[in-house]
Amino acid sequence: MNSLVHDSLVLAGRTLGHWRAQPVPFLVTLLFPVLVVLMMGGLFGGAIAGGAADYVPFVVPGVLALTMLFGLETTMIAITTDAARGVTDRFRSLPLHSGAVLAGRCLADLTASAAGLAAMTAAGFALGWRWSGGAGDVLAAYGLLLLLRFGLLWVGVWAGLKAPGPEAVAAVQIMVWPVGFLSTVFLDPATMPSWLGTVAEWNPLSATADAVRELFGNPGVTGGGWPADHGQALSVIWPILMVVVFAPLSAAAYRRLNR
Amino acid sequence: MDAAIEARAVRKHYRGAERPALDGFDLRVAAGSVCALLGRNGAGKTTAVRILTTLLAMDDGTATVAGHDVRADGDGVRRAIGLVGQNAAVDEILGGRANLMLFGRLRGLAKAAARARADELITRFGLSDAAERAVGTYSGGMRRRLDLAASLVVPPSVLFVDEPTTGLDPDARREVWATVRRLVDDGVTVLLTTQYLEEADELADHVAMLRDGRVVLEGSPAELTSLVGETRVEVRFATADDAAAAGRAAEPYAVGPVDVTGTTVAVPVADAGAVTGFCAALAAAGLEPEHVAVRRPTLDDVFVHVNTVEGEAR
């Protein structure tokens, strides 16, 4: 087997071992988005959409996108912890393929996010969420969600390598909330002050949320700026842009560990 | 003997640092020997290890490890070495056995072979009872042992051990020493860094003293110790007269001039027999000391010696 494939699979397997050894933190990560939907639907659903039942079809696809943003923390924690404990250095002292450590991270995190999407989908169904789109559209929707996760993954790797220590992750854990709220995940930007609405419309999270709502056949946002009209295109462009910018930066930061 | 490690004029200046971390670092370690890189914090020990293990790029100089050029053939170096870094770099969430299997598989062992090797190392390093427990719950000494085991999954020809016993209690320190000694019996070349002369003395065939990024003194532990002088017995008395009498009684046991300062006598001795002989002589003379101390030369003495020699040379 190709050494890159072999080494990345072994390294991704290490993360799988973490879930087996410590299932509780993994389950919490998996179920936290479900808790968010229950809270938002139960507490604000009435105020926002006149009732939880009417809000669920809007908020579930939004939170599927938000789940991908939460994944950023997972990536960053894994990267900074390994760097701080010297595990990254041990990997670097082994005759591994040079791309294996980051590729293994990608594989493990995308697997975790796929599991997160599955959990959130099951919870959504339990709450009455349904899709009306065809199988192709539904698959495309999940593909777009994972594409966003793939883009954010590289942001997380870069931030993790640049972070002075695991403490810096706390800042990111706080920042995901304003980023999450300042999007179309929970609310229609038409209800926001216009400048805030514009920011929310341009949020990469909104592009994916809007695009998957359309593909699932769920109600979308009513406002109509340029980004809202081009949600599907932007939901592809934003993640690709993240990869194009942050994958080389991450690779460079990883190589620069030897300076 | 072939050199397992050879470094010439290695220079490394970290960006933003006032002084270079390594400044003309030269070292030659014979295959199958144990070399201790001795120095204080900031002397450049860890930088040297990181450069020789390809974790860090040097600015200038040349180095080969196990015949592979550190710059040109990093992968060749990595295939030949094991590294035990300063903090035990093992996975805290996984158990000891799972850690060893992980590193075995990363070194290209098939699953069954990795498991067999992990089992073997777990037994050999006395970790059988804790094999399935998360490493996060291990004691410092156990962690170090696992760390050593992890660098031996595929037997390296050169092993780097960076400050193996810093922060360990005396028992754990002895365990680590025993482990390193066993490696040497297997024919592994070991480069270890340490701040303790005692540790270098216990483990190394060859000691290189590092200061300000270069080797300032080299030799066998015995040569180094003889350079800085012998063990001294220091005895304090109630009166200066007693001290003077004790000074005279000490003459047969001293290997150098006896120093009497006020109420204290300092006697350079060659071995333990001289210490007990001197004490018996004191008792026979009816001299009762207030305080007795045996002082072995420390790293500080070596540094003081190096400073003095350099001062005289100037």
The answer to whether B276 contacts chain A (CB < 8 Å) is no
Instruction: Give the residue from chain A lying closest to B133, CA to CA.
Output: A21
B230-296, CATH topology level? Alpha-Beta Plaits (3.30.70)
Asked whether the beta carbons of B154 and B109 are under 8 A apart, the reply is: yes
* Nearest neighbour of A92 by CB, restricted to B55, B86, B88: B55
Q: What rounded mean pLDDT belongs to chain B?
A: 89
C-alpha B220 chain-centroid distance: 13
CB contact under 8 A, B103 and A21: no
CB contact under 8 A, A14 and B91: yes
In this predicted structure, what is the pLDDT of residue B103?
Answer: 96
pLDDT score of B12 more than 80:
yes
B57 interaction partners in chain A (CB closer than 8 Å): 258-259
C-alpha A87 chain-centroid distance: 25
SS3 label, residue A37:
helix
In this predicted structure, what is the pLDDT of residue A156?
Answer: 94
In this predicted structure, what is the pLDDT of residue A223?
Answer: 66
The answer to whether B28 contacts chain A (CB < 8 Å) is no
In this predicted structure, what is the pLDDT of residue B272?
Answer: 82
In this predicted structure, what is the pLDDT of residue B300?
Answer: 65
In this predicted structure, what is the pLDDT of residue A171?
Answer: 86
Q: Which of A97-111, B90-104, B156-170 comes out lowest in average pLDDT? A: B156-170
- Same fold for the pair B3-226 and B230-296: no
A17 interaction partners in chain B (CB closer than 8 Å): 93-94, 98, 102
Which element (helix H / strand E) includes A206? helix A204-216
Which element (helix H / strand E) includes A57? helix A52-85
Which element (helix H / strand E) includes A228? helix A226-229
In this predicted structure, what is the pLDDT of residue B311?
Answer: 59
Give the Cα separation of B220 and A87 in Å (integer). Answer: 34
pLDDT score of B313 more than 60:
no
The DSSP call for residue A43 is I
pLDDT band at residue B1 using 50, 70 and 90 as cut-offs:
low
Residue A240's identity, in one-letter code, is I
* Nearest neighbour of B93 by CB, restricted to A7, A22, A86: A22
ipTM of the complex: 0.88
* % of chain B residues with pLDDT over 70: 95
The answer to whether B110 contacts chain A (CB < 8 Å) is no
Q: And the tokens for B256?
A: 């150098």
In this predicted structure, what is the pLDDT of residue B157?
Answer: 94
In this predicted structure, what is the pLDDT of residue A2?
Answer: 78
The pTM is what? 0.83
B3-226, CATH topology level? Rossmann fold (3.40.50)
Distance from CA of A88 to the nearest CA of B (A): 8
Tell me what the mean pLDDT of segment B295-305 comes to: 71
A85 interaction partners in chain B (CB closer than 8 Å): 87, 89, 92
Per-residue three-class SS string for chain B = CCEEEEEEEEEECCCCCCCCCEEEEEEEEECCCEEEEECCCCCCHHHHHHHHCCCCCCCEEEEEECCEECCCCHHHHHHHEEEECCCCCCCCCCEHHHHHHHHHHHCCCCHHHHHHHHHHHHHHCCCHHHCCCEHHHCCHHHHHHHHHHHCCCCCCCEEEEECCCCCCCHHHHHHHHHHHHHHHHCCCEEEEEECCHHHHHHHCCEEEEEECCEEEEEECHHHHHHHHCCEEEEEECCCHHHHHHHHHHHHHHCCCCCEEECCEEEEEECCHHHHHHHHHHHHHCCCCCCEEEEECCCHHHHHHHHHHHHHHHC
Phi-psi region of B8 (alpha: psi -120 to 50; beta: other; left: phi over 0): beta
The answer to whether B83 contacts chain A (CB < 8 Å) is yes
Asked whether the beta carbons of A105 and A150 are under 8 A apart, the reply is: no
pLDDT band at residue B307 using 50, 70 and 90 as cut-offs:
low
Give the Cα separation of B231 and B275 in Å (integer). Answer: 10
The answer to whether B148 contacts chain A (CB < 8 Å) is no
Dihedral sign, Cα of residue B117, residue B118, residue B121, residue B123: negative
Instruction: Give the residue from chain A lying closest to B75, CA to CA.
Output: A95
Give the Cα separation of A131 and A140 in Å (integer). Answer: 13
Those of residues 86-105 in B touching chain A at CB distance below 8 A are 86-95, 98, 102-103, 105
Domain ranges of chain B: 3-226, 230-296
In this predicted structure, what is the pLDDT of residue B117?
Answer: 96
Q: And the tokens for B224?
A: 């180094």
In this predicted structure, what is the pLDDT of residue B111?
Answer: 95
pLDDT score of B169 more than 60:
yes
In this predicted structure, what is the pLDDT of residue A77?
Answer: 92
Q: What is the pLDDT of residues B112-134, one digit of tens each?
A: 999 999 999 999 888 999 999 99
More confident residue, B314 or A42: A42
* Nearest neighbour of B55 by CB, restricted to A17, A22, A89: A89
Query: Comparing C-alpha atoms, which of B66, B34, B33, B40 is closest to residue B52?
Result: B66
Q: Which residues of chain A have pLDDT under 50?
A: none
In this predicted structure, what is the pLDDT of residue A46?
Answer: 81
With a CB cutoff of 8 Å and minimum separation 6, the contacts of A34 are A119, A120, A123
CB contact under 8 A, B89 and A89: yes
Q: What is the pLDDT of residues B230-281, one digit of tens each?
A: 788 899 999 999 999 999 999 898 888 888 888 999 888 888 888 899 999 9
